[in-house]
């Protein structure tokens, strides 16, 4: 009797195990149905996406990509033309600078030749003046020598 009283009053394992089995069964049934509905909705969404949305997106992407490609080609052509114009303008400017530089160099060389000629003329005049002065002083010395001998 004591064992039966103990098991009825103090041993709650059978009751708890029954409650646990009931809870697990209820949870699995309710959750299973809910997850089944979620999976079915997901399957339908994936099917609709694959059959309808994806082809539309691909077609729109192809149309937009071809239009974008045409625009990029046009922009590339325009940029190429602009680069060529810039290159030609820089080349023309460089040619002008080179022509001015060559003109300046020629002018400088002419100036330097002219300066050398003038220097040669001045040196020649100086040499002649020096000779005249030497001659004048030598005559003055001769005259002075004549006057000193008296």
Tokens of 15: 């009751």
pLDDT of residue 104: 96
Q: What is the pLDDT of residues 125-139, one digit of tens each?
A: 999 999 999 999 999
**Structure token digits, residue 137:** 């002083």
Q: How is residue 138 written in tokens? A: 């030598």
> Tens of pLDDT along 58-85?
988 988 998 999 999 999 999 999 999 9
| 83: DSSP letter | H
Q: Does the pLDDT at position 5 exceed 60?
A: yes
For 1, the 3-state DSSP assignment is coil
| Maximum Cα–Cα distance across the chain | 188
The answer, as to whether pTM is greater than 0.75, is no
| Least confident window among 14-18, 83-87, 95-99 | 14-18
CA 82 to chain centre: 18
- pLDDT tier at 1 (50, 70, 90 boundaries)? low
Q: How many whole angstroms from its chain centre is CA 115?
A: 53
């Amino acid at each position: 009797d004591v064992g039966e009283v103990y098991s009825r009053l103090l041993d709650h394992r059978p009751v708890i195990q029954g409650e646990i089995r009931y809870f697990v069964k209820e949870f699995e049934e309710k959750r299973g149905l809910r997850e089944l509905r979620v999976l079915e909705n997901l399957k339908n969404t994936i099917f609709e996406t694959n059959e309808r949305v994806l082809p539309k997106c691909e077609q729109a992407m192809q149309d937009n990509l071809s239009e974008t490609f045409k625009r990029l080609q046009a922009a590339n052509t325009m940029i190429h033309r602009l680069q060529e114009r810039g290159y030609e303008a820089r080349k023309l400017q460089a040619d002008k600078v080179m022509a001015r530089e060559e003109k300046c160099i020629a002018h400088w060389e002419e100036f330097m030749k002219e300066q050398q000629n003038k220097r040669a003329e001045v040196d020649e005049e100086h040499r002649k003046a020096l000779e005249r002065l030497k001659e004048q002083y030598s005559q003055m010395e001769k005259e002075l020598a004549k006057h000193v001998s008296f």
